[in-house]
Amino acid sequence: MKCRGGGMNDAVLHWPASDMPAGRKGANMPAAPNLTLRAIAPGEEGALAQLFQLYCYDNTAWSGEDVLADGRYDVCDAGLAEYVHAPGHTAVWIEVDGALAGFFLTEPGMAGTLPVREFSDFFILQKYRRRGLALEVVRRVLLDSDTPWLVAMFRADTRANAFWRQAFARLPFARITPWDDASLPQFQLYVLKASPKPAA
């Protein structure tokens, strides 16, 4: 049985272009009031597994994935739980006014010989889209880190690709480097580096 939720081969970055407000690079972005990023705690793995099923459903618009005989998408809940427990992995709730609005997962990875952090999966519930939340999460997480980040989009996921094209135009990354991996032809890969922080 295929085990999703455990590495770049299973990465599905789905951030609707509709979540991206219009504007130019460097312009003030709309505020995301009461947006909180909170580490998913031990004991919350079941809630993560539930939201991951919604995430898979959302992605069927381009993936065409069918459910299994038990009515669930083919996801290994134990693999998802590793993001909560495994060293170097992170699982984070996106909350708005204290309510769950989505999640993202990260893990250590490599782009060739370069150590990177990888966004493995990122999901925002439909109710909370069109508010600029996805862009704000990316700004807070990727631009507040000295570590290079690897993002991977399925080439078939046109909405995720549209989101990143606009995010690259809006956010002040120091470097945006396309990266090819012959073993992963289904992915469009980028290595991102934030601008150095000003000296205190």
pLDDT for position 22: 43
CA distances from 114 to 54, 88, 181 (A): 33, 16, 13
Q: How confident is the model at residue 32 (pLDDT cuts 50, 70, 90)?
A: low
Helix, strand, or coil (residue 57): helix
Lowest mean pLDDT among 11-25, 45-59, 87-101: 11-25
- Stated pTM of the model: 0.83
pLDDT in tens, 134-185: 999 999 999 988 899 999 999 999 999 999 999 999 999 999 999 999 998 9
